[in-house]
Amino acid sequence: MAFAVDQKVFAGIDVGAAELVLVLRSGDQSLSAQPFANTAADHQRLVKKIAALPGCIVCLEATGVYSMDIALALYDAGVLVMVINPKSSCNFAKVLGKHSKTDNVDADTLAQYAQRMPFQLWTRPTDATMTLRAYSRRIHALTDLKTASKNQLHAASSVSTTPKAVLHDLKLAITQLEKRLNTLTVAALKHIALHAELSRPLSLLIEIKGIAEASAIALLGELLLLPSGLTHPQWVKFAGLDPKHFRSGTSVEKKARISKAGNHYIRAALYMPALSAKRHDPYVRAFFEHLLAKGKTPMQAVCAVMRKLLHALHGMLTNNEPFDNTRFYAMPSKNTEVLV
C-alpha cells in the first residue's frame, strides 16, 4: 500500500538501543512497520526516506542518547521533528485503547500522535550544550554509584562478620569514584569556560545560596537544552514539579502531589540546592516556614521551594539577570499591627 502524492504523511519512530522502527501514516491508514538499525548508516537511509515525503511530520520519544542522534539527523535534513515525553505517548496509547506494547505498536502510536496532537517543533541544541549534558549526566550516574557504595559500606560496617577485605574494597571504590567525579567536574568547568553561552549562566547560578558548581553543572546540563520560548510554568511541568490533583465528585479528594511526569535529572539537581537555600537564605527560609505554618509537610514545602527556585532560574536565564532573593518571598513587615 502507498499513499497518494498529495496526502499529508505523518511518521512515528520507536527508538531502541539497537533498532529503530518506522511507521508512516496518512488519513486513517498506517503502512507496515519498517525496521532500521540504530547506526549512522541506517540513520541516513531512514532520513532519506522521510525527506522524500514533503511536509512529513515525525514524532519520537525523548529516550536520551538513543533518540538524540536520529533527531539531529532528521532536523539537519530539514525534516519537521517533534520529540515528546514518553509518558505523553504512554497516556495517548491508553486513550487510543491500545493494550499491546511492541515496537511496531509504539511506532504507530507515535505516528497517530503526530497526526492528532498540536505540532511542537523540536529545537536542535548546540554542540556545546549537548557536551555539557553528557558531562552532567555522567556525573549524576557516578554520584548515584558513590551514594550506593557509601550505603553499602555503612551496612557492612555494622555487621561484625564482614571481612576486612570487603570493607577495604568498598572504601577503595568510594575513593576511586570521588577521583573520577573530580576529574569530570574539572573537565566540565573547562568546557564551560570555553563557551560564553555556558559561562555566563554558570556565573549567575553559583551566586545563589545553595547552588555550588556541581549543582550548577547538573542544572545547566538540562535547562539549556529546553526549547526556547517556554514559560516558567512549562519549565515546571517539564521537570515534573507541577501539582497532580485527584478529585472525584464531592466525596473523594486526595492530597495534591507533584506529577513526576518529567525530567528527573532537573528534580534531582534542584533537591540539594533547595535544602541548602532554605537553611542559608533568609527569604527562602521564610517562604519554607510560611508553608509549614499553613499545614504543608516538610517534603511538600521542599518541593514548593524547588518549584520556586526553578521559576527564579527561568527568569535569570531568560533575562540574563542575577538572582534577587528579596523577590522569592515577601517578608511580613515587623511593624504590621495585628487587628483583634
Residue 273: predicted pLDDT: 96
**With 60 as the cut, is the pLDDT of residue 208 above it?**
yes
> pLDDT-derived band of residue 57, with 50, 70 and 90 as boundaries?
very high
In whole angstroms, what is the distance from residue 128 CA to residue 197 CA?
Answer: 8
Residue 340: predicted pLDDT: 38
The larger pLDDT score, comparing residue 105 to residue 337, is at 105
Query: The C-alpha cell of 334 is what?
Result: 515587623
Identify the CA nearest to 43 among candidates 13, 64, 63: 13
In whole angstroms, what is the distance from residue 120 CA to residue 260 CA?
Answer: 21
- Helices first, then strands: H and E counts in the chain: 12, 8
* Burial (0-12, 13-18, 19+ Cβ within 10 Å), 29: exposed
DSSP state of 265: H
> pLDDT-derived band of residue 258, with 50, 70 and 90 as boundaries?
confident
**With 90 as the cut, is the pLDDT of residue 260 above it?**
no
Residue 278: predicted pLDDT: 95
In whole angstroms, what is the distance from residue 41 CA to residue 38 CA?
Answer: 8
Give the least confident one: 42-46, 171-175, 328-332: 328-332
Average pLDDT over the chain, rounded to whole?
Answer: 89
**Residue range 271-289: mean pLDDT, rounded:** 96
Residue 79: predicted pLDDT: 95
CB atoms < 10 A from the CB of 146, how many?
18
**With 50 as the cut, is the pLDDT of residue 248 above it?**
no
**Residue range 142-151: mean pLDDT, rounded:** 97
In whole angstroms, what is the distance from residue 306 CA to residue 293 CA?
Answer: 18
- The type of residue at 195 is H
For residue 144, the SS3 value is helix
Residue 42: predicted pLDDT: 94
For residue 237, the SS3 value is helix
**With 70 as the cut, is the pLDDT of residue 56 above it?**
yes
**Residue range 208-217: mean pLDDT, rounded:** 95
DSSP state of 254: E
Q: What is the DSSP string of 68-105?
A: HHHHHHHHHTT-EEEEE-HHHHHHHHHHHT-----HHH
Domain boundaries, the chain: 10-116, 127-223, 232-327
Residues 6+ apart with CB under 8 A from 84: 59, 60, 61, 62, 110, 113, 120
**With 60 as the cut, is the pLDDT of residue 252 above it?**
no
Torsion over CA: 97, 100, 103, 104 (sign): negative
Pairing type for strands 34-37 and 29-30 reads unpaired
- From the options 3.30.379.10, 3.20.20.105, 3.90.1150.10, 3.30.420.10, give the CATH code of 10-116: 3.30.420.10
Q: What pLDDT digit, counting tens, does each position of 153-193 carry?
A: 999 999 999 999 999 999 999 999 999 999 999 999 999 99
In whole angstroms, what is the distance from residue 113 CA to residue 60 CA?
Answer: 9
**Residue range 234-260: mean pLDDT, rounded:** 68
Q: Which helix (H) or strand (E) holds 37?
A: strand 34-37
In whole angstroms, what is the distance from residue 320 CA to residue 17 CA?
Answer: 38
Put residue 162 in one of left, alpha, beta given phi > 0 → left and psi -120 to 50 → alpha: beta
The larger pLDDT score, comparing residue 261 to residue 304, is at 304
Identify the CA nearest to 202 among candidates 313, 85, 97, 327: 313
> How many residues comprise the chain?
340
